[in-house]
Amino acid sequence: MKSIIIIAGPTAAGKTAKAIEVAQHFNTAVISADSRQCYREISIGTAKPSPQELSTVPHYFINSHAIQEEVNAGLYEKLALEYAAEIWKTNDVAVMCGGTGLYIKAFCEGIDNIPATPPAIRLSIQERFEKEGMAWLQQEVQEKDPAFYANAEIQNPHRLMRALEVLYATGQSITTYRTGNTTKRDFQIVKTAVTLPKEQLHDNIARRVHLMVAQGLLEEVRAVLPYRNHNALQTVGYKEVFDYLDGKISWEEAVEQIIIHTRQYAKRQLTWFRKDTSFQWFEAGHGLLDSVVKKLSK
């Protein structure tokens, strides 16, 4: 039976190291489930695995796309299934590692076919959000798509902006495209997640952000300025530096905001993965490999 071991969890919890350990044990490859590490142009702000880590075991969906390309959960489902099939030609076990919950869900269960929206609509919503902030975004969705808003992650700007995009482009609520059907996969899925005590996770995040700064985050963001309205850059670590480059905040404020916003993002990731009770949680990854080996040997 073909199997995939999923290693999920919040940012800075130690997923990459654990995925490499598991992949080495099974002599297999890792499929990334991170919506930003696929872009070649952004490495520091996305906390991509190091060249050494990438050379330890084969990795898929890292440095696979140019930043101008539109990558979404629907495309990820298709690509990840292809990657897995390729790995399974020579090995019964594959590893998937990442913190983008929607991508993991799409791979495991399939995803509804929600229409693509014109870039101009996306851009106008992003610009409005940048000017008027979260309060405007929440109010706009609440007024225009109450069905979606009633059950939405209302602190997640990406979900809210996506709902508006679909509404503006089609005149329909995004909920009308959601069938709720799940696709049955013909392979075994073992879901694990790595976490840390809150204080330790927060310390890791702060350390990681300061390391990004030392590695040249500012220079990386300057290099992608021409693409600043691209979806991949509407995220933590890039928006704050754009604000600094626009003269809205000081460098110290930008760094502090990246730390705060990354902690908030980690909290949203934990909430997302904990909603799926089929995940087995491992603090700092202790016992994860043993547990997976036992499961697969049954």
Q: For residue 176, what pLDDT is reported?
A: 84
Range with lowest mean pLDDT among 55-64, 87-96, 126-135: 126-135
Cβ(9)–Cβ(266) below 8 Å: no
Q: For residue 253, what pLDDT is reported?
A: 98
Sheet with 280-283, strands from edge to edge, namely 59-60, 30-32, 93-97, 3-8, 188-195, 280-283
- Residues 196, 213: Cα–Cα separation, whole Å: 23
3-class DSSP state for residue 12? Answer: coil
Rounded to the nearest integer, the mean pLDDT of the chain is 93
Q: Which tokens is 74 given?
A: 């629907």
Least Cα distance to 107 among 182, 9, 30, 163 occurs for 182
pLDDT at 19 > cutoff 90? yes
Q: What is the DSSP letter of 99?
A: S
What does the DSSP assignment read for 47-62?
TPPPHHHHHHS-EESS
Least Cα distance to 3 among 77, 111, 96, 72 occurs for 96
Summarised one tens digit per residue, pLDDT across range 270-288 is: 999 999 999 999 999 999 9
Least Cα distance to 80 among 55, 54, 56, 62 occurs for 62
> Which residues does the annotation place in the binding site?
9-16
- Residues 27, 160: Cα–Cα separation, whole Å: 41
Read off φ and ψ for residue 22, nearest 5 degrees: -65, -45
User: By CB neighbour count within 10 A (0-12 exposed, 13-18 middle, 19+ buried), where does 189 fall?
Assistant: middle
Give the CA distances from residue 84 to residues 21, 81, 257, 298, in Å, rounded to whole numbers and listed in that order: 18, 5, 37, 22
> Which residues does the annotation place in the binding site for ATP?
9-16
> Which residues does the annotation place in the binding site for substrate?
11-16
Q: What is the DSSP letter of 105?
A: H
- Residues 173, 166: Cα–Cα separation, whole Å: 7
Summarised one tens digit per residue, pLDDT across range 46-72 is: 999 999 999 999 999 999 999 988 898
Give the dihedral sign, CA 80/230/210/206: negative
Summarised one tens digit per residue, pLDDT across range 228-262 is: 888 789 889 999 999 999 999 999 999 999 999 99
Length of the chain (residues): 298
According to DSSP, the residues that pair with 97 across neighbouring strands are 7, 32
Q: What is the DSSP letter of 30?
A: E
Cβ(103)–Cβ(29) below 8 Å: no
Domains and CATH numbers, the chain: 3-112+181-297 (3.40.50.300), 119-177 (1.10.20.140)
Q: pLDDT confidence of 147, banded at 50, 70, 90?
A: confident
pLDDT at 130 > cutoff 90? no
- Rounded to 10°, the helix 101-109/73-88 angle is 60
